[in-house]
Structure 1
Amino acid sequence: MKSAELKPTVFIGKNGITEPVISEVKQQLNARKVIKVKVLRSAKGEMDRKGIAEGVADSSGANLVELRGNTFVLSKI
């Protein structure tokens, strides 16, 4: 499946990158290998979208595959 066809399954809101978000990303990566994450408008105050994407990838031990608009794709290492 191409990354453009994926639906976002994790959403990052006003609380930003939290432990529950990282835990959910890890669980979904174990189950699916590739996931799409959407950054909601309310989350953009603390970091830019690239910083959020890189932070989630680093914290969850994943590869950042693609960053487009407010969504990004992660794959399991």
Structure 2
Amino acid sequence: MSDSSRAQRIHELDVTVWVGKNGLDPIEDELNDQLQDSEFVKAKFLRAARGGTTTEELAEELADRVNAQVVRSRGHTAVFER
């Protein structure tokens, strides 16, 4: 897959995981399941989840928990790949 088609696929992804006030624990299994079925998964980090931290920090922590990588972080969304 070329870099441009890969970037286009990542850009066109719909958010399928929302991280809210309950933090990372409740969505860890969901993200893990989705990464088994899809190459990429896009997550949105709601204000309540961020608290005193950044989207990038939360995304990296979540990626570590599910053995994945953050391939893009923009605004309050992050895209994960395994």
TM-score (norm 2): 0.85
The structure 1 segments of at least 4 consecutive aligned residues displaced by more than 2 Å after TM superposition are none
* Counterparts of 1:63 and 1:26, CA distance in 2: 12
> Residue 66 of structure 2 is aligned with which of 44, 60, 77?
60
- Within-5 A mapping of 1:36-51: 36-51=42-57
Higher relative contact order (CA 8 A, sep 6+): 1
1:61 is paired with a residue of what secondary structure?
coil
- Structure with the higher helix share, 1 or 2: 2
Q: Which structure 2 segments of 5+ residues have no match?
A: 1-7
- Structure with the higher strand share, 1 or 2: 1
Residue aligning to 1:17: 24
Greater Cα radius of gyration, structure 1 or 2: 2
Q: Which structure 1 segments of 5+ residues have no match?
A: none
TM-score (norm 1): 0.90
Residue aligning to 1:74: 80
| Alignment size in residue pairs | 75
